[in-house]
Each structure stands twice: as structure tokens, then as C-alpha cells.
Amino acid sequence: MSLFQILFRHLRQYPKDICGALIAMLLSALAVLYQPRLLESIQKDLLKGDTSKVISDSIWIIGLGLIAIVAGVLNVYFAAKLAQGVTSDLREEVYEKIQSFSYANIDTFSTGSLTTRLISDMNQIMNLIMSIFMQLLRLPIILVGSFVLAIITIPRFWWITLLVLVVLTIVGLFILKLVNRQFEQYQVRLDKVANLAQENLLGIRVVKSFNQEDRQVNKFSLASDALNRLNLNIGYLMSAVIPAFSIIAYIAICAVTTMIGLQIKLHPTDIAVISPYVNYILTLLFVVWIIGIALMNVSRGKVSLGRIKEILDTKPSIIFNEAAPDDTLSGDVEFDDVSFTYPGNTKPTLQHISFNVQAGEMIGIVGATGSGKSTLAQLIARLYDPTSGIIKIGGSDLKKVNEKALRKSVSFVLQKAILFSGTIASNLRQGKSDATKAELERASAIAQAFEFVRNYQDGFNHEVQERSANFSGGQKQRLSIARGIISNSPILILDDSTSALDAESEKKVQDALEHKLKDTTTFLIAEKIVSVKNADRILVLDEGKLVAQGTHEELLKTSNIYQEIFKTQQAREKRGEL
């Protein structure tokens, strides 16, 4: 798909606005072009002393002026409406496309870059559409019309008119070429500033905890100064346009008026054409200048459109079989010789993992940091596809399963608790959109969240502020667990989701999961063995390999790695570190 095909798909949804903008643009251009001709007629009538014709032409000039004003206003109205509509539709299309991305796709774009594309790049595309329907389609008509009418006005000086147009065009193209080079770097620099700002704001607590404010300010200042220098360079180049064009136009005007003055005895009526000729030359100057600006907007819009195209052309790395039934799958899970390597890496994160889980089992997953615990969980939810091997849920290969069926069958509580602005109820209902109040209470009770939710005067309607700043880490985790439980999926994955809870709250959550979700296949990923010791089976990972599995008691007897982790954690507990 070409860049402008992307726009055309959305432009054709607004035929009335396109027609309105084009008709108003054409009327405005014709009114602008014909006014100097009437001015020439008035001056000739004055020389003849024809007062009635002067009055008639003056009324026509006023009428044309009013038409130009009304047409200009209507052109701006329709162009702005069209640009806003197309940009809004395109932004929604891009946002929807991003939602279809897998984790692997998201990894190729930074969050700051995606935000910039949805906001800054969309604004550039909106300016592009405005430029096309307000300037690029109108200005060529005025340019050609002014050039032709200037020659008709004083035919013997046609070569001056042609020379002016050629020189203006050459100077304009030269400056445009220089500016375009700067614009190509602009969005990249803007991405960097956006990324730094986002990282700093999201990690502001870490920055303050380690007293890194000055370092972060310096990093941001360097990126911001680079963007500022680029903007200044663009400004310097732009500031040279009007003086350069003005010098060219006024030299031409001076030359023509001087030559007319020298030949006035031979051509006495030329006194009436000086004013319209000057008008057309200044119009040429203005038009070439505005075309240059419009082309710069087109250049910027083209760069932005290319960045949007990059998103739209990205194919989701995970394709679901939509022809498969969307029935909920059972809780059986099977890994058959599964290996996985993250895109761009050469070292496998998981190697030759094989195990079977029966529906209703509680499975603990432990291992050192970087052993692949979270990656294994993400493969169950098919957030990534394995590099090799087969993963089955309910006896079905995940690559042959319908997406709705998988999402109904697997509920994933992420390691980092994330709540969205809104209410507690709206967050929990992300797990089940039609959840009743009774279901909200049940899920939050299992997650030990109801004990603080019921203390709010507005209960589940209590506000969740931006980045859930009005909740503690433990409260966010409990609400995240409740959101995962409420869907009542056959498989529940808790990726170290109780790390912020105190020992008593964690014990209550585990007991509730064990007794109230007996039929749910539960995967508990944890750093602490105490969090999974009551699981039906524990999988031990080490450097991406499944090195042991069994109950807590069995592993203490048979697995050296498990024994080492357990003893280390016991020692840390005695020292008060855990």
C-alpha cells in the first residue's frame, strides 16, 4: 500500500467536504486572479474620464472581494472538517492496529515512539491534508493564472515575467531541499525526547530514590537542545525565504517600471497597467513562497505518513485461527519439547521444555532470576509463539486455536500490577465486562481486596487515579488478582503477583485460591519457595531448562538446585531479608 493510498481510503468517506473545499477553493482563486484586471480597467477608464464605467468596475471589485472572503472562509471550514475527520479515522485505525500487536511486535516500537506517532505525526498528517485542500490545489491555478495574465498585461516584457518565475522557483527549491533534510531528522529527535520524558515520569520514584534528578535533567536537556538546534536551523532557513523572494520580485518591478517610464511617450496607456502588473508579480512571489511552505508541510506529512505506514504494514507475529470454534478450552496444558528465543537474541531463553498439567492442578514455577519463568507463562497465554515445539491447551495446539477461545480460557495476572484510570469496578470488569456486583465481591474476596474496598464509601465505584497513584503496591496487586479471577477462566496464571503482599495476606490469597478455585488450573510463578510450597507440583527452571519437577518434599530430596534455593531463602528469612 502506497502512502497516499492510506489517505485515499479515508478521504473517500468525506465526498461532500471534498467537493465543498474544491468549489470554494476554485471560486477564491478566480476572484483573486480577476481583481487586478478590473483594477487595470478602472485606471484606463479614469484616463478616458468614463465615470460610470469606473463606478461599475469598482462595484465588481467589491463584489469579487466579498466572494473571495466568503469562499476563503468556506474553503478553510471544509478543509479543516475534512482534515480532522480523516486524521481521527486514521488515528483510530492505527490504535486498533496496535491493539492487535503481539508482544514481539510491541518490542520493535518503543512506547514513546508509538505515542509520538499517534499525536505528533497525526498532527503533521492533518496539516498535510489542510495544505492539499487549501493551498496545493489552489496555488497552481493562481500561479499559472498570474503568470499568463502578467504577460497579457504587458506582452513585450514577457521575458522579465518568465525570468522572475524561474529564479523564484530555483531559489525556492534550493531552500526547500535544505529544509527537507532537517525535517527528516525532526521526528526521530522528537521520538527521543518523548521516550526520555516518558521513562523519567514513569520511573520518577526510582529517580528520586537514587537522587538522580540532575543526571536525568542533563540527559533530557541534551536531547531537548538537539531538537531545539534543529528547529532553529529550520527557522533560519525559513527566515531567508521572504527576503530572497522579495529582492527578486522588487528588482523585476523596478526594471519594468523603469523601462515603462523610458518608453511612456511611445506607450502612454502603460501607465494604467503598472499597478496590475505589480500585483501579478507580487502574487507570483507570494504564491511561490506559499507553495514552498506547503511543500514543506507535504514533506513533513510524508515523513509522518511513512511512520504511520510502518505501523499499518506491520503484520502481527501471532496469527490466530479464526475459523476454529470459540468454545472455552479445558484446563489441561501440555508443553512438548518447547524452545523459545526472543526476537533479536541469539541465546535461547527456554530450551526443550516438556511437561503435562491436568485440569485443576496448582503448579508452582520457581528458579533464579532470568531462568525463564515469566517467559514460560507468556507462552501459555500465547503472548509469544515458541521458536520450536508445541504447546497444547485442552488438547488443542495453540496455533490452531481461536483467539476468543484462548482469551476466555487463560487469565493472566502480570508481574507488574497495572490499573487504568476509572473506577475499581471498571478495572475488574476488564476481566469480565458483564460481571455482577456479587461476582465483583467474590473475586475481590478471594484476592483479599474486599477488605479495603468495602471501607470506601463508594465501594467498587471508588475512583482509580492516573497510574493508580491512590493505591499501595499491595492493593494494586490484589485488585489485579481479582481482575484475573473474575473471568472464571479454566487456567489462571499468577506471575509473581503476590510479591508486594505481606506474609499474612499472601497466605490468605493462596488458601483462597486452593479452596475456592479447585477446578481451575493455576500456575504460580514466584521468587520465594514459600509461595509455592503447597502446590500440587513445582517446576524448577535453571538457565531456561526444566531441571526438576515434583512436590516440595520430593524436590527437597531429589533436586540440588531446589535445595540450594530453599536453603538460601531460609538464611535470608532468618536475617530478615525475606
What digits encode the pLDDT tens for the residues 16-74?
Answer: 999 999 999 888 888 877 777 777 677 776 767 767 777 887 888 888 888 888 998 99
Candidate from 108-112, 379-383, 430-434 with smallest mean pLDDT: 108-112
> pLDDT at residue 480 above 60?
yes
Residue partners of 150: CB distance under 8 A and separation at least 6: 161, 277, 280, 281, 284
Q: Is 547:387 a contact under the CB 8 Å cutoff?
A: no
At residue 217, the pLDDT reads 82
- Which of 337, 335, 348 lies closest to 391, judged by CA? 335
Sign of CA dihedral 145, 148, 154, 158: positive
Pairing state between β 362-367 and 463-464:
unpaired
Q: From CA 133, how far away is CA 86, in angstroms rounded? A: 13
Greatest mean pLDDT among 219-233, 261-275, 364-378 = 364-378
H or E segment and range at residue 408: helix 403-409
Mean pLDDT of all residues in the chain?
84
- 193 DSSP assignment: H
Encode pLDDT of 347-395 as tens digits: 999 999 999 999 999 999 998 888 999 999 999 989 889 999 999 999 9
Residue partners of 458: CB distance under 8 A and separation at least 6: none
What length does the chain have?
A: 578
Q: From CA 12, how far away is CA 19, in angstroms rounded? A: 11
Type of residue found at 539: L
Q: Under DSSP, is residue 23 helix (H, G, I), strand (E, B) or coil?
A: helix
Q: Is 424:460 a contact under the CB 8 Å cutoff?
A: yes
40 versus 136: which is more confidently predicted?
136
Q: From CA 447, how far away is CA 30, in angstroms rounded? A: 72
Number of Cβ within 10 Å of residue 165's Cβ equals: 21
Quick one: average pLDDT of 248-268?
A: 76
C-alpha cell at 187: 521526528
Quick one: average pLDDT of 424-447?
A: 90
47 versus 235: which is more confidently predicted?
235
294 versus 125: which is more confidently predicted?
125
- Model confidence at 100, in pLDDT bands (50, 70, 90)? confident
- Model confidence at 425, in pLDDT bands (50, 70, 90)? very high
Number of Cβ within 10 Å of residue 208's Cβ equals: 11
75 versus 233: which is more confidently predicted?
75
> pLDDT at residue 152 above 90?
no
Q: From CA 487, how far away is CA 53, in angstroms rounded? A: 84
C-alpha cell at 402: 481461536
CA torsion angle 351 356 360 361 (round to 10) = -70
Residue partners of 75: CB distance under 8 A and separation at least 6: 21, 24, 25, 28, 133, 134, 138
H or E segment and range at residue 337: strand 333-340
Name the strands in the sheet holding 537-542, side by side, starting at the edge strand that comes first in the sequence.
410-413, 491-495, 521-525, 362-367, 537-542, 545-550
Q: What is the pTM of this model?
A: 0.70
Q: Is 477:501 a contact under the CB 8 Å cutoff?
A: yes
C-alpha cell at 274: 503598472
388, β-bridge pairs: 339
Number of Cβ within 10 Å of residue 70's Cβ equals: 14
DSSP percent split of the chain into helix, strand, coil, nearest 5 = 65, 10, 25
Candidate from 36-50, 186-200, 221-235, 289-303 with smallest mean pLDDT: 36-50
Angle between helices 213-239 and 158-202 (to 10 degrees): 170
